[in-house]
């Protein structure tokens, strides 16, 4: 496996590794993760929740639509920087 994967992700299913790699260094919402990975929305939600539980990624509510979540890599972004990055993509 590539060196950038932490040990906590190495033994996870391929979908988990794929979502982790997609989020690393970027800020995504669920729709952009679907586009980036080709996985279903339900699978993205389940995998992202697992990664949040393991504290490998962080999440916050989309300020424009509170039903949606924004996912980001805490090693690359703090919450304020992640929000600014997401808003600049709009």
Could you report how far apart the first and last alpha carbons of the chain are, in Å? 33
pLDDT at 3: 58
- Beta strand extents in 1-90 (DSSP E only): 27-29, 58-61, 69-72
Confidence of residue 1 (pLDDT cuts 50, 70, 90): very low
Put simply, whether the predicted model's pTM sits higher than 0.75 gets the answer yes
Torsion of CA 88, 21, 6, 52, to 10 degrees: 60
- Mean residue pLDDT of the chain comes to 87
Write down all domains in the chain, each with its CATH number in brackets.
12-89 (1.10.10.10)
DSSP letter (8 states) at residue 54: T
Nearest to 12 by CA among 70, 58, 53, 42: 53
pLDDT tens per residue across span 5-49: 888 888 899 999 999 999 988 889 999 999 999 999 999 999 999
């Amino acid at each position: 496996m590539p060196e950038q994967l932490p040990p906590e992700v190495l033994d996870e299913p391929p979908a988990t590794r794929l979502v982790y790699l997609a989020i690393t260094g970027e800020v995504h919402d669920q729709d952009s993760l679907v586009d980036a990975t080709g996985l279903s929305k339900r699978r993205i939600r389940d995998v992202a929740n697992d990664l949040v539980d393991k504290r490998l990624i962080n999440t916050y509510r989309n300020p424009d639509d509170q039903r949606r979540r924004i996912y980001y890599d805490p090693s690359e972004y703090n919450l304020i920087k992640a929000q600014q990055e997401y808003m600049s993509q709009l």
